[in-house]
Amino acid sequence: MLWSGTDKPVRRIVGMMSGTSVDGVDAALVEVRGTGDRCQVKLLAFENRPYPETVREEIFTLFQPEQATVDRVGRMNVLLGELYARSARSVVEGAGLRLEDVDLIGSHGQTIWHSPQTVWEEGFPIHYTVQIGEGAVIAARTGVPTVSDFRVADMAVGGQGAPLVPFTEYLLYRREEETILLQNIGGIGNMTVLPAGAGPEAVYAFDTGPGNMIIDAAVSALTGGEQTYDVDGAMAAAGQVNADLLAWLQQEPYYSRPLPKTTGREEFGTQYTERVLERGRELGLSPQDIVATVTDLTAWSIADAYGRYVQPRYQASRLVVGGGGSYNPTLLAFLSRRLGEYGVAVQTQEDLGWSSDAKEAVAFAVLADRCAMGEANSLPGVTGAERAAVMGKISLPPRGSGKGEHR
């Protein structure tokens, strides 16, 4: 038997995530009860451990293909495995438990490249994705079976390998009488549509465009690195949205691309932000005005996505925001104004009794549970895959190793 948890009515699982903002490792310890579509999830503990600054800088370097040599990627893959293992141990100990009390770990890893568009080579449809943070290292250091590298299984059956969180959103958030939108605003923004009373085949999701990515990069550049993000949305609040710059930004082809679609730093990364800043300077804008405009761009892109891809089919009652963007009151104010025009209220995860910070880490705990059970954990209607896949690769700890013996 690969995993002893299959016979347990309650499993304790650590889920871990690091997003496109590269802030650090989010780790959530959860209890999962039941199986299938009726599972219940309880959050026991959550913590974020920021990456060491040198590690964060190196990860950003790996986002550039010409810099991401095999030796650098290989070394960082192992180093991140060590850091993830430390985070798993820390969140368990913070809950007053031991690694011996944990049944499974699910780690998304750190995406350094995501290329979902198919290119034909030698008669084969090639698309690919790269997440690092070695699962075998996590399993060896913790003594806990570890599920990692989730996205590739979906891509192997024709999917885009993203977004993955909608599977758990379907399990935990769907309502019989109400259409709900789940919006994550991390580095990239992504929306999940849960139609009232929907089965899994009716759920769909997509990336709306940049979330915090351009905002963070603009703030960092405009403050000379003194700030890495717009604290409390203060910089945007002090500026004015510039109509000319916003209209220029809205011409980006991604926004009108048909579903399914995903995006990332490859389209909206550093080079893109440099063009945005150059355009802002040409228009004679202040730093505050530039940040206000790119903040409103995120709000506009979400509202535009709703009007373009959702409202023609469903009238949603509310959009529930999670991720780092949910802590930016200026962004939420822009979003409330724009979605208010559609009759959609804006709430946060905390309004529903959940945690914006922990949401994605919790999701990878649930995805790991399904993988270890040998059950499909993807939504083909969301990713564009030909069929549902069992996503994740299972790394077992070395025989005879004690949990947590490596510190």
Domain shared by 14 and 106, yes or no: yes
Q: For residues 310 and 57, what is the distance between their CA atoms, to the nearest angstrom?
A: 38
Co-location of 136 and 109 in the same domain: yes
10 is in an annotated binding site: no
Ligand-binding site membership of 23 (annotated): yes
Tell me which long-range contacts 39-44 makes (C-beta under 8 A, separation of at least 24). Answer: 39/171, 39/366, 39/369, 41/171, 41/172, 41/362, 41/365, 41/366, 43/354, 43/355, 43/358, 43/362, 44/12, 44/95, 44/97
Q: Is 103 labelled as part of a ligand binding site? A: no
290, two tokens: 């530039």
Q: Are residues 248 and 289 in the same domain?
A: yes
- Annotated ligand binding at 14? The verdict is no
Q: Do 290 and 378 sit in the same domain of this protein?
A: no
| Residues 139 and 82 occupy one common structural domain | yes
3-state secondary structure of 210: strand
10 and 156 in a single domain? The answer is: yes
Q: Are residues 189 and 245 in the same domain?
A: yes
Q: Do 69 and 174 lie in a common domain? A: no
Q: Is residue 407 in some structural domain?
A: no
21 is in an annotated binding site: yes
For 102, what's the count of Cα atoms within 13 Å in the CB-facing half-sphere?
A: 34
Q: Is residue 400 part of a domain?
A: no
362-399 in b/e burial notation, b at 16+ Cβ within 10 A? bbbbbbbbbbbbeebbbbbbbbbbeebbbbbebbbbee
Query: Is 22 a known ligand-binding residue?
Result: yes
What would the pLDDT profile of 195-238 be if each residue is shown by its tens digit?
A: 999 898 899 989 999 999 999 999 999 999 999 999 999 999 99
Q: Is 26 annotated as a binding residue?
A: yes
Whether residue 142 is annotated as binding a ligand: the answer is no
Assess if residue 16 is contained within a domain: yes
Q: Kindly give the confidence (pLDDT) of every residue in the chain, 407 residues in length, as a single tens digit, with 9 standing for 90 and above.
A: 466 677 789 999 999 999 877 889 999 999 999 887 778 999 999 999 999 999 999 999 999 999 999 999 999 999 999 999 999 999 999 999 999 999 999 999 999 999 988 999 999 999 999 999 999 999 999 999 999 999 999 999 999 998 899 999 998 888 999 999 999 998 999 999 999 998 988 999 899 999 999 999 999 999 999 999 999 999 999 999 999 999 999 999 999 999 988 888 889 988 899 999 999 999 999 999 999 999 999 999 999 999 999 999 999 999 999 988 999 999 999 999 999 999 999 999 999 888 888 989 999 999 999 999 999 999 998 898 999 999 999 999 998 655 554 44
Of 151, 25, 148, the C-alpha closest to 88 is 25
Is 286 inside a domain boundary? yes
> Are 226 and 309 part of one and the same domain?
yes
Is 401 within a domain? no
86 and 148 part of one domain: yes
Condensed to tens digits (0 to 9), the pLDDT of residues 1-42 reads 466 677 789 999 999 999 877 889 999 999 999 887 778 999
| Domain region containing 26 | 4-160+358-395
Residue 404 lies in a domain: no
Which domain CATH number covers 286?
Answer: 3.30.420.40
Q: In this structure, are 273 and 347 located in the same domain?
A: yes
Q: What's the number of domains the chain is made of?
A: 2
Note whether 91 and 106 are same-domain residues: yes
Of the candidates 352, 367, 382, which is a domain's last residue?
Answer: 352
What tokens were used for 13?
């699982």
The DSSP string of 378-395 is --HHHH--SS-----EEE
Say if strands 180-185 and 104-121 run parallel, antiparallel, or are unpaired.
unpaired
Asked if residues 34 and 45 have their Cβ atoms less than 8 Å apart, the reply is no
